[in-house]
Each structure stands twice: as structure tokens, then as C-alpha cells.
Amino acid sequence: MASTTEELRTADRSDDPIGPGRAIAATLRSTLGPNGLDKMVIDRSGSVVVTNTGATVLDGLEIDAPIGRVIRDAIRAHARHVGDGTTTTALLVGELIDAADGLVERGLHPTSVVDGYGRAVSHAGDALRELSVPVDPDDDRVREVASTAVTGRWDAASARRFADITVDALDAVDYDAARLTLHAYPGGELADSERVNGILVDLDGSSTTVDGFGTDDRRTLADPTVALVDGEVTPPATEASGTVTVRNPDGLAAVREHERAARDGLIRSVAGRDVDVLVCQKSIDDGVKTDLARAGVLPVERTRRDEFDAIARAADATAVAAVADLDRDALGTVGSVRRRSVGGGAAIELSGLPGESHESLLLRGGTPHVAEETKRIVDDCLSVARHAARGGGVVPGGGAGMAAVSRAVADRASSVDDRSALALDAFAEAVTVIPRTLARNAGADPIDALVALRNRHHAGETAAGVARSGAVENMFDAGVVEPVAVPARCLETAVRTAGLVLRVDETLDAEPIEGGDDDGGHRGHDHAGDGDHAHESGGGYPWALSH
């Protein structure tokens, strides 16, 4: 990665709009597809993550060139919205900018190129829609979409397993993402990851604490009654009184006695209703906590808001403002509550939910970075699977979609009689970067693959794409499919980003109004969000345009 990273840095001081896009694409190229190689990303603190996820690599790149940052930010925004296709988008941007450069050199105005690309992307959308086939949630295609999204991230068996647990979990919550939570726990093998049919409350990541459950993992409460209190739990005495003036030791004893009685009353009102688990959104007074545990009630305090609400819905319980408001109707129940130790941390697991179903995926990795990376991949997998299941339609992968787009746009170009026809032709050629790169990464000859692909598409086999082996095959038969939204949005983002870059003809540093800073070299050493303007040498001007 050294040479391209170097390129990204040196592109800094030139106004060259082509270099950064080309360098980003060159960096990501070898990671595309099922045969993608990994990159070792080392961040500023020295932590290392080995990945071939486009978004992670992109985050790890130190990009100084302003145009490079524009490109990266656009692709990042795409990744957040779509959840897949980061590398594809980066390669398309590089190729579109490169092609535009050639056209501009031949005398075409950048605006004509941008217009032509704009027309091309709308034809591309039509071509993809035509290629897409509908799926329904029970369709096996949803599973194929999930496994296509994670192909190449892990070994084939892990990819299949993750695709399966993701789709099964989604299915169990009717594809409602709010009822599926992901938890990343370091200190375990990828293979230790599991799907939990229930709610997992992290006791370390959040400040949730549980008293009296000990550290024994075998301790399970069967069919516990669950009560939820949305406020703090404190004894009424300390809650109600302002200042108590004590004049003699007897007075103090009386106050203590009063408090004791109030606390006993509180404990009785919980234990007396046969509550087994008291889930509190805020804190529980220490004395009360101890007494509750002694009375056989499991106190869970400072529960995260989303988990608190999920528990209420899952247990069919109603949260009340204070313990005094607890009545039979407010109480709920679950099949079991159990404590679990996970990778040096602890969690409690609520399962057998009578109310709304809930699923948790417990993802493991050797280090926090690896565990987080796993979570990121599964997150992407979730978003494409949901997309497909909600009737978005799917297209064949392996570059089949891009091959169809290429053909359709080239057809259109021949009927356009102005200069933008050249841009349409360039676009048609540019999108073939995806099948070409998939072939190259598979060790096949990209030109041979492209020729074979064209012939098959010409013969009407629009599902032909580049398989994992590098050979051209029917992608529907191979189970390589993606939501139509993925290639469509990749193309839209790429065209928008290329347009942004092509319209720039000069990068200006806003000059300081008066005096001093003429070193100009501070440009680009800082990016938005780093928040280190103050450390800049020479009194850097934070309003400089390129920042």
C-alpha cells in the first residue's frame, strides 16, 4: 500500500483533480470481490486491523489532498446509507474521472462530460431495473444476498454461517432492525459468535449493574416476574424530606428508624408483589439494592434506554415512574433470565419472550478492532438482506449488472448526436472496471473475461457475470445476487462525486485577510473533525477554504 499511500500524500500540493481519485481506486482495487486480498490498516495509535472491507480501508487512509477528502467523504456517506458497495463506488469514481480526463484532453468541455455522465446514469438505472427480479422475505434469494455481501470477508464456511444467522435472526423479528441488536465482544474466536433468541444486556459496555447474581454463569431464574421502573429507586424518606435538624442522639436514632421503616416498606412493595427482577432505568440506592438482593429480587440498574424499552415490550410489562406505582398490570414475565460471562465481561440474557420478539447477535473477535470489524460486516449484511426482503428486487452480481449497464448505455450513445455521446461511450467503458477487476483478482485475464461477458450478454444471457473462479457464469445459478439498489446507488454516487471533482478547476487556499501566514504549507494537514486547529503551526487560519 506504500506507493499509493505516498501518491495520496504527494497529490496534496498539486491542483491535480485526477491523482487522488486514481490513487484511492488503485489502493482499493485488489480488495474487490470474493478473491479480494486484505489490507493491513494501521491507525495513528498503532493498532492494526487486517481487512478487505472498503469502508475500513478508506477510513485508514491518510488523505491530505482536498480533492481526495471530498471523494472519501462522498464514498463514506454512500457506505453509511447503502451498507455495501464501497469498493465498487471508489473504483467507479476513479475510472469515471480518468475517462473524463481523456475526453477533456481531446477538447470536450468538463460540463459536457458531466452532462453526458448524468444522462448515462439514468439509462443505467433503467437497465438495472429491467434486469432485476422481485424477491419475497421467505425467498432463498435473501440468503444469497446476505452471503454475497459477506463473501471474501472470511473463509467460505464462516461467510455462509454468518449469512445464515443474520437472515434467521432478521426473519425472527419480521425484518424490524430495531429488534435486532449486535454486540461485539473481544477476546474470542470468530467461530464463537452466536445468535441469541432474546435480549442481551451488556453489563460492561453500558454502566448497567446487577447485584446479587454473583459471578456464577449457571445461575438462571426461571419464569421470573419482571418489573420496570423508569426513575430512580430511593427510599421515600431521603426522597421527600429537605433538611432534618437533629438535636439529640435520640432524634438521630428516630430518623434512622424512620428511614429503615421506609426502606422496609419499599422492599415489601417489590418483594410482596413477587417481583423477581427489578429493572431500573436510573440508579438504585445502595442500601435498597442490598436489601432487594437479600429479599430474593434481582436489581438491574442504569439500564440503557433502548434496552429498557425493549425489555418492557418483550416482557409485556409497563414501565412505571416509581416503585409505589407498581401493580399487577404493570408486571411482566419472561422465560428465563441468566447471567453470562463473555470474553472477560458480563451480560444478562433474557429469553423466552412472551411479548415482542427480540434477537441479539453476539459477535466475537480476538481484539476489540476485530470484533468491531465483524460487527461492521454483519451490519452491512443486515442492511442488504433487509433491502432485498422488503421487495427491493435483486440483480445478478459478479459484474453482471455493470455489463448490462455498459451495453445499454453504449446502445444509447449511438443515438445521441451531440458531443455528450462521447461521454456516454466513456461511461459504458468505465463501468466495466467492475467485471474486469473481479476477473483480475481471480487471476483470470480481464480482457478475455470482458469479451466472454459481452458475448454472453449479447446472446441474451443477462445474468452472466464473473464467478469466484474467474470464469464467466450465470450468477443467478451461482447464487451471487445483490439488491438492485446497491449497483444503482454505487453508480449514482460515483457520477455525483466525479461531477464534483470535474467541476473544480482550481483548489484555493483562502488567504488570510492580513499579515502573516504565507507558508501555505498548512493546507490539508488537518481534516474536519480532527479538532486540532489549535495545534497548527504558524497561527493557521481555520477558515481556509480547503479545510
> Where along the sequence are the contacts to Mg ion (CB under 5 A)?
84
Q: Which is nearer to Mg ion, 31 or 234 (CB)?
A: 31
HEC states along 391-443?
A: HHCEEECCCHHHHHHHHHHHHHHCCCCCCHHHHHHHHHHHCCHHHHHHHHHCC
Give the one residue of 226, 438, 464, 488 binding ligand ADP; rule: CB under 6 A: 438
Tell me the three cell numbers of residue 105.
Answer: 484532453
Q: Which is nearer to Mg ion, 81 or 219 (CB)?
A: 81
Give the one residue of 30, 51, 112, 148 binding ligand ADP; rule: CB under 6 A: 148
CB 103 within 8 A of CB 38: no
Amino acid letter, 514: E
Q: Which is nearer to ligand ADP, 405 or 466 (CB)?
A: 466
Residues within window 479-508 making contact with ligand ADP, judged by CB under 6 A:
480, 482
Residues within window 29-88 making contact with ligand ADP, judged by CB under 6 A:
31-34, 36, 54, 84-88
Q: Which is nearer to ligand ADP, 20 or 85 (CB)?
A: 85
Amino acid letter, 11: A
Question: What are the start-end ranges of the E strands in 154-234?
Answer: 180-186, 194-196, 198-202, 209-210, 220-222, 225-229
Q: Which is nearer to Mg ion, 148 or 208 (CB)?
A: 148
150: CB partners within 8 A, 6+ apart: 159, 162, 163, 377, 378, 380, 381
**Whose CB is nearest to ligand ADP?**
397
Binding span for ligand ADP by CB under 6 A among 110-118, 144-152, 340-348, 456-464: 144-152
Q: Please tell me the distance from the alpha carbon of residue 287 to that of residue 292, in angstroms, as a whole number.
A: 9
Q: Site for ligand ADP (CB under 6 A): how many residues?
A: 24
Q: CB neighbours (10 Å) of residue 54?
A: 26
Q: Pick from Mg ion, ligand ADP, none: which does 483 bind, CB < 5 to 8 A by kind?
A: none
Cβ 373 to Mg ion shortest distance, Å: 14
Beta strands 225-229 and 277-280 are parallel
Cβ 365 to ligand ADP shortest distance, Å: 19
**Crossing angle of helices 433-441/446-458, nearest 10°?**
130
Q: Pick from ligand ADP, Mg ion, none: which does 83 bind, CB < 5 to 8 A by kind?
A: none
The binding track of 152-191 with respect to ligand ADP, each residue x by CB under 6 A or -, is x---------------------------------------
152: CB partners within 8 A, 6+ apart: 33, 34, 35, 36, 52, 159
Positions that interact with ligand ADP (CB under 6 A): 31-34, 36, 54, 84-88, 148, 151-152, 397-399, 434, 438, 466-468, 480, 482
